[in-house]
Structure 1
Amino acid sequence: MRYIPLKTIAVLLMLLTSMSSCKEETSNKVLYLGHTLPQSHPVHKGILEFQKALEAKSKGTLKVKIFPDAQLGSEREVLELLQIGSVAATKVSAATLSNFVPEYHILGIPYLFRDKQHQFDVLEGDVGKSILEKGSKFWLRGLCYYDAGSRSFYTSEKAIRTPEDLKGLKIRVMNNQMAINMVNSMGGSATPLAYGELYTAIQQGVVDGAENNPPSFVSSNHYEISKYYTLDQHSSVPDVLLIGTKFWNKLSDQEKIWVQEAADESAQAQKKFWNDSVEESMRVAKAAGVEIIIPEKSLFAEKSKSVVEDFVKEFPEMAPIVTQIKNN
């Protein structure tokens, strides 16, 4: 008999309660969407646009019920709920998704994209759409990408101006092999750590710093205890809006068109929400006395070349995709 974690049972009970209290007409379909972000986050605002657009296009026959703030569990836990059909949709980082769909590893390669324009030319083009479709065989169909910015280093005591400044520093990273290899290749000591433990870890000197995008740097309050923010922009891992194939396959052809169109429209709206959030986050950080450092990014890119080489050796079948992206 398969063991079902107590947390999963609790989530399923909550969903059943929500379903039973829903007063929609029986002809309506309700898309339950869970994610881990707070409601103030620009990605959540993008999801609200998806909700609004889908309900408008379907004239209310397709409803979206959103569960933010990790109400349904971690990113990995919600992905598993999608796979068994208990939840219809979610938003996760491509880094988390790479543990389910290998092709998403590509999007975590350091300095893969030349700039923001290049990134979205790729993601919204043939390569990006192909990667979204790869998840279907794992019951996780990608709908669109949301801007999650670029990740950069921040530290509490020592400024990072060149890769050499990373030597001897313990830098918190996601529990993701690409991120670990990248920091180590630059001379730092990559330290995987739960995000919720990071504020205290920096404060107590367990780690010397971390890496993330500006909105996360500020919303987590890490700017309060980190004096330096180095905008080396080493990776630009997008978020992905997904729908479980168990729910997708229940939709009519017209409903599938509405869902995809609503997702695409929400992705364009979310870019503006993200840009506004970055500007406000940088303003808050500067006002708090954080030194913003603009380094020579090519020095960091050069140090991380071995990460790309090792990745291509491990996944030779993905080498053509990496080359296609770089030549785009």
Structure 2
Amino acid sequence: MAMQKLFPTGSWRKIAAVGASGAVLLSGCGSGGGGDDTYEWSLAEAHPKDYPTTQADIWFADQMRERTDGRIDIEVMHGGQLGEEADVLEQVQMGAVEMTRVSTSPVSEVVDEFGVFALPYVFDDEDHLWRFLEGDYAQGMLDDVRDSGYVGLAYYEAGARNFYTVDEPIESPEDLEGQDIRVLPGTVNVEMVEAMGGSGVTMDYGEVYSSLESGTITGAENNEPSYVSSGHYETAEYYTRDAHQRIPEILMVSADLFDSMSEEDQELLREVAQESIAEQRKLWDAEVEESIAEMEDSGIEVIDVETEEFQDATADMVENKRSEYSEVMDAIDEARE
């Protein structure tokens, strides 16, 4: 697996002022203290406070605080207070931010193999995705981020990504012709839309709403909770459920910080992170239902499509990438029932 570092990995003991608050983000006492050390950490989260993933972060932080009698005190900095996800990854690598919850999309910039999640239609459904994520291969991928300065603790659910547009619905790949669709950063995401006949546009998530309003882009793609919580449904009123990607998220901690902890604290951190998965998935399912209800109440036109045409349009692209991701693709295939 090809890996790279965004920066040379720094010491977790560095204290940095990050973001508008300029707050000190990290403090700790020594290492290997057998459970006596105290820590004050920040966990960077791009989603708003009431988003299910953020609520799972908060559950994780509360559990760590409770089970250590306040020794490990984690503050969830939600709403992108510490920057976009790619920026935060750099900060965690340097030790300026201790933890983050981040999509696997920017993680693919430091560990190439995570780019497999961007390939369209490689997972049949949510159950297929989680059989893979809970298997040995995907768990090993969590360990692979260590060489880039991180420790992967847990995968989180992020649903299926679907197209939504301003002027006309997407019912087949031909409907993407002439459309400028905002996608996640990464060449695979752009190539996917181009294979379907449209143009993929990358931009920061915070710019999408105004770009939809101004006509800079004609559509975007995301899961139902993000579509609603961002307010994008107010402008882009056609939502096509084609489930072209299932891109999970990862809860991560600075490797230098993790290595400085006692074995007992390391074990507890991993244990609570794994327990938080069930909480996050439960919150996620409830939020999807609420989002769909909000869409229906707001008069959004939801288009359910057969995906065969979309899969056919991207089949050559996926096949061309198979050699690059051969081992992980084999593991994904094995996770099918």
Q: Do the structures match in fold with TM over 0.5?
A: yes
Aligned-partner Cα distance in 1 for 2:37–2:330: 47
C-alpha displacement at 1:289, in angstroms? Answer: 1.1
Aligned-partner Cα distance in 1 for 2:316–2:25: 51
Match of 1:11 among 7, 18, 23: 18
Report matched runs for 1:119-268 at 5 Å. 119-268=129-278
Report matched runs for 1:28-39 at 5 Å. 28-39=38-49
Aligned-partner Cα distance in 2 for 1:55–1:194: 33
The answer (yes or no) to whether the contact 1:153–1:230 under 8 Å persists in 2 is yes
Report matched runs for 1:34-45 at 5 Å. 34-45=44-55
Structure 1: gaps spanning 5 or more residues: 3-7, 21-25
> Which residue identity is paired with 1:228?
Y
* Counterpart in the other structure of 1:94: 104
Structure 2: gaps spanning 5 or more residues: 1-6, 8-14, 29-35
> Which residue identity is paired with 1:265?
E
C-alpha displacement at 1:141, in angstroms? Answer: 1.3
C-alpha displacement at 1:52, in angstroms? Answer: 2.1
C-alpha displacement at 1:170, in angstroms? Answer: 1.3
SS in 2 for 1:278: helix
| CA deviations over 1:207-240 (Å, ceiling 9, x no partner) | 2111011111111111111121000010010111
**Which structure has greater helix proportion?**
1
The 3 A distance-change label for structure 1 pair 198 and 32 is closer
CA RMSD of aligned residues (A): 2.1
Aligned-partner Cα distance in 1 for 2:61–2:209: 33
Q: How many residues align?
A: 315
C-alpha displacement at 1:295, in angstroms? Answer: 0.1
* Counterpart in the other structure of 2:65: 55
Provide the identity percentage: 33
The 3 A distance-change label for structure 1 pair 32 and 17 is closer
The answer (yes or no) to whether the contact 1:84–1:246 under 8 Å persists in 2 is no
C-alpha displacement at 1:19, in angstroms? Answer: 5.3
The answer (yes or no) to whether the contact 1:214–1:281 under 8 Å persists in 2 is yes
* Counterpart in the other structure of 2:290: 280
SS in 2 for 1:14: coil
SS in 1 for 2:170: coil
> Which residue identity is paired with 2:137?
V
The answer (yes or no) to whether the contact 2:25–2:41 under 8 Å persists in 1 is no
The 3 A distance-change label for structure 1 pair 137 and 224 is same
Aligned-partner Cα distance in 2 for 1:327–1:275: 26
Aligned-partner Cα distance in 2 for 1:157–1:117: 33
SS in 2 for 1:237: coil
* Counterpart in the other structure of 1:306: 316
- After TM superposition, the score normalised by the length of structure 1 is 0.90
| CA deviations over 1:3-43 (Å, ceiling 9, x no partner) | xxxxx9641883428859xxxxx842223211221101110
Aligned-partner Cα distance in 1 for 2:25–2:271: 30
| CA deviations over 1:177-209 (Å, ceiling 9, x no partner) | 111011111111112222222222222222211
The 3 A distance-change label for structure 1 pair 15 and 149 is same
| CA deviations over 1:285-310 (Å, ceiling 9, x no partner) | 11111111110012211211122223
Aligned-partner Cα distance in 2 for 1:18–1:255: 17
Structure 1 residue ranges, 4+ long, deviating more than 3 angstroms after superposition: 17-20
C-alpha displacement at 1:58, in angstroms? Answer: 2.8
* Counterpart in the other structure of 1:23: none
The answer (yes or no) to whether the contact 2:27–2:41 under 8 Å persists in 1 is no
* Counterpart in the other structure of 1:5: none
* Counterpart in the other structure of 1:326: 333
Aligned-partner Cα distance in 2 for 1:166–1:130: 37
